[in-house]
Structure 1
């Protein structure tokens, strides 16, 4: 649950201020809920993106994200500092300036995404305890098991176009899995950006992990994922759940009819 910056104790804000050369401005992030505090902090030394958490569940999630972000080079923002004070875990990372990519059919962001994905597809999971496919997705298929590091939530809001290429934020769901799982989870977001299921799959064909995954495995994944989001959407009024139920359902229907 997102909290206002004023929820932080003075001891915590003082330590943040010391690390950024004095706080000039605080701008809350417009979305996300993995940390109670998520804000761009401007100080005399520049901008830093700060996340902070105090509740047990939020601290556990932020600690996990800190471990994931610290374990992978280049793709996530660099971790600049972190500390614990008065029951709060606080993490400051590189502030990434740039827009979210255009992933619509023919969008310029697709080429950037392909370059980033090809590198990420070859990134093994660092040593540590990460989500398994079953614990991340709530269902399991034997072919989902693997040793690659899977972000597992490459929605456009977690992708930022920078001068160094496309970067990836919010690693709270990092998973150790087969590389094709990343691609299968991306299908729903491409459909949400305007692709037909056929167009989305055609774009995926450039990746060896996709081409090498048996059709029956993709059929089962699409079906199980659609069933999950359909069930979730029936128990919630949140629009994003209904969107995912629609998009995953379209992909599953396409695979059933082809």
Structure 2
């Protein structure tokens, strides 16, 4: 999805935003990410909020994705930023999220923030996905395996850019791909990011071994998951030049090779 400039918003939307944050207000576009058509921190007399917006009405992929993220974020609890308010007008949807100040965590071996991540993973593994629309594991990953199905909330994209260490602890943003699944799936999808943070595949698995959900996974299931992940990202790397895609192909390839040994 291509990120649009703030000026793409129609006057009807910016007027409603101004009515809530106050006038005058300043806009600071998000530095990264591409899941939202518009994403920016907006500061006015009433404070700072993080705005995501999408156009095209309910038939638009970006519009449906944002509506889905707003619903999923509001259902999870303490980890996501709070949804403060929503605007839907003129074919646009805008959502205001709690603005989080902080830094991205250090997940390197022995890093100071691994314990914060472990606390989040332990809690998320016990949160039942409420009724509503969620991704299925097959819909999220592109392949099926019956052991991936389950009833817990899986963020499914716990890369360090989606983790923010605030003054009160770790928070998790960007729930656009929240999935109803077995809790081990979150752990398996984290392997790539641990490897990308400097862990060897063996060290990544050793760190994940502390979680009961990891211990319940059959070795063959993990072999299959690693193989499918490596194949998926290898194919995508052959089709494009984006650095992050090639990184994921490298990290998942390393994990699959380790499991083959």
Q: Normalising by structure 2, what TM-score? A: 0.97
Partner of 1:87: 91
Partner of 2:191: 187
2:228 equivalent to 1:224 = yes
Partner of 1:153: 157
Question: Which secondary structure does the structure 2 equivalent of 1:93 belong to?
Answer: strand
Partner of 2:51: 50
Partner of 2:19: 18
User: Equivalences for 1:29-68 in 2 at 5 Å?
Assistant: 29-55=30-56, 56-68=60-72
CA distance in 2, matches of 1:109, 1:234: 34
Task: Report the alpha carbon displacement of residue 57 of structure 1 after superposing the two structures with TM.
Answer: 1.1
Aligned pairs, how many?
257
2:238 equivalent to 1:234 = yes
Task: Report the alpha carbon displacement of residue 23 of structure 1 after superposing the two structures with TM.
Answer: 4.0
Partner of 1:125: 129
Decide whether the 8 Å contact of 1:20 with 1:45 is kept in 2. Answer: yes
CA distance in 1, matches of 2:250, 2:49: 36
Task: Report the alpha carbon displacement of residue 163 of structure 1 after superposing the two structures with TM.
Answer: 2.0
CA distance in 2, matches of 1:17, 1:108: 40
Equivalent of 1:108 in 100, 105, 112 = 112
CA RMSD, aligned part only?
0.8
2:213 equivalent to 1:209 = yes
| Cα displacement string for residues 105-144 of structure 1 (whole angstroms, at most 9, x for unaligned residues) | 1111101100111101111111112111100000111111
CA distance in 2, matches of 1:245, 1:118: 27
CA distance in 2, matches of 1:128, 1:15: 28
Task: Report the alpha carbon displacement of residue 164 of structure 1 after superposing the two structures with TM.
Answer: 2.2
Decide whether the 8 Å contact of 1:23 with 1:41 is kept in 2. Answer: no
Q: Normalising by structure 1, what TM-score? A: 0.98
What are the ranges of 5 or more consecutive residues in structure 2 without an aligned counterpart? Answer: none
Question: Which secondary structure does the structure 1 equivalent of 2:25 belong to?
Answer: strand
| Cα displacement string for residues 85-117 of structure 1 (whole angstroms, at most 9, x for unaligned residues) | 221100001001000000011111101100111
